[in-house]
Structure 1
């Protein structure tokens, strides 16, 4: 016997996580599409538009929302916006531009391990031993991608591999801080819907980047053609709409449905989709090591889901006995 409502939430939460990963994976392609612009400009353009889109969507409901948003809420939104959006995207863009898509994806692939480890310390979380198989599979998958990155032509396109690696590691730390902080903030702020929290995050992020973008434009002395500016605007708008508005909304909804230990595993889908987009961009099929990595990632998520379902079933069995 099962708790149908709980299993329904589990399935719905996983579906939201997969959707968020599919949309977030696009951000790994964006730096390749507009390589003539700096990471500061990429972050500024994306997030100023994210803020404008969010402002337009939140305006009809602002009178109601304004009564529930306190100074403490704005403080939380601002540091989460900086860690998970502004700083993360600047670091990620720098990592992709200097180290390449694959090596960056490898480092970011360790996010699930870090978030799951932190989540395992939460009250009522699954014991670490039950999460260990999925974590080991995640590490195996990341190792396969890393081995492939070091032994193929992909690494040769890197401009500054060491600097790219450092940026990727810093991005990993920044987004881990965001993932854990955002998940716990949503638990405390249950009076906000996932959609409203996303729009408020957009307002905070847009405000930060309205200062960053003019500075980035002043610092960049590279001349750009009208065509390059058009591409910059289109890519920034697409990433703002799809990854920031769409992806963040799905991610926040997932956070309300799943425990942090399972939230960590859902980040793997961003890695999977970013690799798929990378293959399409490079016009090639995955190698044996990359295919093995895919298998490890999928199996790891399935094991983690199974571990989270077992306690529910066992608890029901004990209550019937």
Structure 2
């Protein structure tokens, strides 16, 4: 249980970086950020695949198909929607929406996976979900109030609505991904989570190359006028950030999440996505140079309390 918690915490610290990249590279289109991140992920996976080549050969064709589905939806589509949402609506609104993931995943997996993992009793789970939901609301209330009070033009409101819709799509992608990923890991308990992370990295490489080719062919319609492929106006910053996100947020974050998913019930590990929200907020505070307000600190304390409450709940077997 505690090793699973530590792995989920490490994954959250890594994944918080993905919220920073679109803010550091606002002049780069979301599609290029997604392609760059997973191109780096795929290239990093190549030398790792040499180390695990024997274990990778043992994966069946069905396993590789599952890795492709997970990478296409949980990696490419999710990050494309998230980056586009952040660039359209700024950081706060997508963070608020993505922050609902712990509650959404916990409820979905408790309904879906109770026969395999046991059911977390709803009455005992409810306080944890309420603490996490209240904490998310407290952390983001300042940003939400600013959004509601600001006088914005019709064009700006349209971009905010587009950003909100894209963030909801990202939530749908990342509700599906951890549940399906946990299905495979729990069904293949003898497999190494590291090998499964590397396999997902390998299948992202041809996807990223295909995405780069499409961006090149459709550059006139998909990219701003005068934008130079493949590295854009700030090649060193783009390359360095994509390599960092590809290594830490993609491969290492996926590895840590796989380790947690093999150790914890899906309904519980889903709530630990809250570490990603906390990390993203911490990085945002550091980037902006401003300390969190008292209500934000209260929200963070409620989030942590909700996670600790959930860890105390033992799943109850479901009668067949």
TM-score by length of 2: 0.88
Task: Give the number of equivalent residue pairs.
Answer: 301
State the alpha-carbon separation in 2 of the partners of residues 43 and 153 from structure 1: 27
* Alignment match, 1:287: 293
Gaps of 5+ in 2: none
Match of 1:28 among 2, 10, 19: 19
Residue from 82, 86, 95 that aligns with 1:92: 82
List per-residue Cα deviations over 1:64-111 (Å, max 9, x = no partner).
421x22121111111111111000000010111111112111111111
Query: Structure 2 residue aligned with 1:223, among 227, 230, 235?
Result: 227
- CA distance 1:210–1:154, change in 2 (3 Å): farther
Structure 2 distance, partners of 1:152, 1:78, is 40
Whether the aligned pair in 2 keeps the contact of 1:141 and 1:297 (CA below 8 Å) is: yes
Match of 1:126 among 120, 123, 135: 120
Q: What per-residue deviation string (whole Å, max 9, x for no partner) do you get for residues 205-264 of structure 1?
A: 222111012222442244359761221111111100110111111010010111112101
Q: 2:243 and 2:126 mapped to 1: Cα distance? A: 40
Shift of 1:52: 1.2
Q: How many Å apart are 1:60 and its aligned residue? A: 3.4
Question: SS of the counterpart of 2:314?
Answer: helix
For residues 27-65 of structure 1, what are the alpha-carbon distances to aligned partners after superposition, in whole Å with 9 as ceiling and x for unaligned? 100001111111110010110110111121112332442
Equivalent residues of 2:82, 2:94 under 8 A apart: yes
Deviation at 1:204, TM superposition (A): 1.4
What corresponds to 2:133 in structure 1? 139
1:103/1:155 contact within 8 Å kept: no
3-state SS, counterpart of residue 32 of structure 1: helix
In the superposition, relative to structure 1, how do residues 172 and 64 fare at CA in structure 2: closer, same or farther (>3 Å)?
closer
Distance 2:38 2:91 in 1: 21
CA contact (8 A) 1:194 1:253 kept: yes
2:3 is the alignment partner of 1:12: yes
Residue 109 in structure 1 maps to residue 99 in structure 2: yes
The yes-or-no answer on 1:300 pairing with 2:299 is: no
Q: Is the 8 A contact 1:140 1:296 kept in 2?
A: yes
CA contact (8 A) 1:102 1:145 kept: no
Supply the distance in 1 between the matched residues of 2:189 and 2:150 (Cα, whole angstroms). Answer: 48
CA contact (8 A) 1:103 1:149 kept: yes
Residues 77, 200 of structure 1: 8 Å contact kept: yes
* Mapping 1:144-163, distance limit 5 Å: 144-152=138-146, 160-163=159-162
Task: Answer yes or no: is the 8 Å Cα contact 1:116–1:264 preserved in 2.
Answer: yes
Q: How does 1:1-321 map to 2 (within 5 A)?
A: 10-66=1-57, 68-121=58-111, 122-123=114-115, 124-152=118-146, 160-218=159-217, 219=219, 220=223, 221-224=225-228, 228-308=234-314
Residues 1:79 and 1:133: Cα distance change in structure 2 (over 3 Å):
same
Q: Is the 8 A contact 2:31 2:80 kept in 1?
A: yes
Aligned partners of 1:157, 1:244: CA distance in 2, in Å?
38
Q: 1:176 to 1:157 in 2, by over 3 A?
A: farther
Deviation at 1:154, TM superposition (A): 11
Alignment CA distance shift 1:13-1:157 (3 Å): farther
Distance 1:18 1:302 in 2: 12
RMSD of the TM alignment (CA)?
Answer: 2.2
> Which whole-Å CA distance do the structure 1 matches of 2:147 and 2:287 have between them?
14
Note closer, same or farther for the CA distance 1:86–1:157 as it changes in structure 2 (3 Å cut): farther
Structure 1: runs of 5+ lacking an equivalent: 1-9, 313-321
